[in-house]
Structure 1
Amino acid sequence: MNALTVLASGEEEFVAPGVELFDFPPLFAGGPAWLTKPVLFAVIGALVTCAIAWSAFAKPKLVPRGMQNIGEMGYVFVRDQIGRPFLGKNTEQWMPLLMSLFLLIWVWNIFAVIPVVQFPIASHIAFPAVLAFSVYFLKIYLGIKHQGAAKYFSNLIPKGLPKPIYVLLVPIEYLSTFILAPFTHAVRLFANMFAGHIILAFFSLVGFWFLFEKPTAAGFGVGIIGVIMTCVMTAFEMFIQFLQAFLFTMLAAMYIQSGLHADH
């Protein structure tokens, strides 16, 4: 809320928050430009993910309790809803990666509604881009390893079509596979977190502005609406945070499977 207050305090008229919400100075004067709040909490999110996994699975008991019980519920969800539908018999082999991706992205996303942090890490494109391209390089590596380089690249093109169609189909297929797919994989997560953060900031600022910064009888109702919408959109955003972690991990499983076995 402090950041929103600063945006509002110097203005006589309400100004909606914009992309300045995503600009962060270095953590300390003279520090490197890259060492910002999102970077710090990206690392903290990774450590939180490790801590959750360690507490849940480091010393498993025959009858799960506490964190192990929660961890196993999460494991079963990722395995049954993401891993098995795409990877089948290969699921268990890739569960450490899928579970880590799902949990890390969810932790990063949910930081948006955690007091003090109040920022979704994935709303900075660099973080989902690193994850997406890592998954995609893994896909290509697996494809070449399991299918052979020539067969892997040829399997990307459907067989049995009239030859003139391949003049258009080949560049489109390769563009989609090697450029658009990893790009959209990263941007889908980034865009949802980016837009969600701006929406939450907007309604929060509406409530703060009309109820505290510039309270008026006419604006009181608008401020109340802002507060109500902030609560509603926070709940909705928490659902989206979970959904985007699920979708990103699901696509990762799909890409891994396409590397292990030919798409066509």
Structure 2
Amino acid sequence: MAESDHGGGFHVPSISEFFPPAIFFEGTPFEINRITLVRIVVALALVLWLWLSTRHAKLVPGRAQSVVELVLDFVRVQIVESVLGEKVGRKYLPMLTALFLIILAMNLAGVVPFLNIAGTSVVGLPVLLALWVYVVYLGAGIKKQGLGKFLKNSLFPSGVPPFMYVLITPIEFLQVFVLRPFTLALRLLANMMAGHLMLVLCFAATHFLLLEGGGLIKATSALTILGGFGITLFEIFVAFLQAFIFTLLATVYIQMSLEEEH
């Protein structure tokens, strides 16, 4: 479906969706575009929600406090303690809980009216979060084992014939120092980008078919809008799933770094 001479027609969503023009401070290091603004709004909303829900914490929680405690217990029991154990997990629980909440909030922004794009759908934030995990799990391993022993256990797995280290060690190096943070960021980014493009495609098609389509073509807009609502529900599920997977993998990487032998 081609565009008309007056600029109408169906506009196919593209990668340009993730590179909006500047809104404030254009051309400076502090440039703010729509996605940056979404991140700021979500971060402030998350902090405000946590503060309002817990500022008058009670032994018998109200609804808002119950929701916060439900999320905190989920991260503590289902992710942190199940992988690291209660004693070790207590040390990393604040960091991993913050990670889960940040990713979940930023992901859900993609289905919030007037925001309509996930804060994690542009590479900067996923990379920053992956680097946070990277520094923590390397630091945890080096602090517990010492640099030399950590490198030995990571790059020269026990039980492997010495001649195999020529093949195994480069693979282990890539896995520990390159692929773990790279795949963490890439998995989150790709899922959020794909979800946004599908939503834009469905609702842009609905707009075009309903307002510019002729005859029976208008009726097909019912299919695209149903598809859009279906994808919206799916995106909510993906938002939770990606927050869970990212946090779970971060916990697993910390646990692997703390192990003295793999």
Please, what TM-score do these two structures have when normalized by structure 1? 0.90
Task: List aligned pairs for 1:57-68, cutoff 5 A.
Answer: 57-68=54-65
Distance 1:21 1:127 in 2: 16
* Amino acid in structure 2 at the alignment position of 1:149: L
- Indicate yes or no: 2:147 matched with 1:149: yes
> Out of 78, 83, 86, which is 2:83 matched to?
86
Partner of 1:242: 240
Structure 2: which 5+ runs fail to align?
none
Kept after mapping to 2: 8 A contact 1:108/1:121: yes
Partners of 1:164 and 1:110 in 2: CA distance: 49
1:222 to 220, 223, 226: 220
Q: State whether structure 2 residue 205 is matched by structure 1 residue 206.
A: yes
Post-superposition offset of 1:97: 1.4
Which of 76, 79, 85 is the aligned partner of 2:73? 76
Paired amino acid for 1:48: A
CA distance in 1, matches of 2:261, 2:209: 55
Q: Which amino acid aligns with 1:177?
A: V
CA shift, 1:31, in A, is 5.8
Match of 2:185 in 1: 186
Summarize deviations over 1:209-242 as a string: whole Å, max 9, x none: 0111x12124224322111100111111110011
Aligned residue identity for 1:250: L
User: Is 1:16 paired with 2:20?
Assistant: no
Aligned partner of 1:71: which letter? V
C-alpha displacement of 1:29: 6.8
CA distance in 2, matches of 1:219, 1:136: 52
1:92, distance to aligned residue in structure 2 (A): 2.4
Report the more deviating stretch, 153-162 or 199-208: 153-162
CA distance in 2, matches of 1:45, 1:256: 27
Which residue pairs with 2:33 in the alignment?
Answer: 36
Q: Is the 8 A contact 2:26 2:32 kept in 1?
A: no
In structure 2, distance between residues paired with 1:72 and 1:139: 26
* Aligned-partner residue type, residue 117 of structure 1: L
Return the letter of the residue paired with 1:93. Answer: K
| Of 226-235 and 54-63, the range deviating more from structure 2 | 54-63
Q: How does 1:84-163 map to 2 (within 5 A)?
A: 84-89=81-86, 90-156=88-154, 157-163=156-162
Q: Hey, what's the Cα distance between the residues in 1 that align with 2:56 and 2:258? A: 32
Q: What displacement does 1:263 show? A: 5.3
Matches of 1:189 and 1:260, distance apart in 2: 25
What is the match of residue 259 of structure 1?
Answer: 257
Q: How many residues align?
A: 257
Residue 168 to residue 29, structure 1, CA distance change in 2 (3 Å): closer
* 2:15 aligned partner, one-letter code: V
Question: Following TM superposition, where does structure 1 have runs of at least 4 consecutive aligned residues deviating by more than 6 angstroms?
Answer: none
- Equivalent position of 1:49 in the other structure: 46
Cα deviation per residue 1:109-146 (whole Å; 9 max; x = unaligned)?
11111111111110001101000011111111111111
Q: Which runs of 5+ in 1 are unaligned?
A: 1-6
Structure-2 residue corresponding to 1:171:
170
2:137 partner letter: K
Instruction: Compute the RMSD of aligned alpha carbons.
Output: 2.0
Structure 1 counterpart of 2:82, which letter? P
Q: Indicate if the aligned counterparts of 1:26 and 1:36 stay in contact, CA closer than 8 A.
A: yes
Find the aligned partners of 1:112 and 1:21 in 2 and give their Cα distance. 12
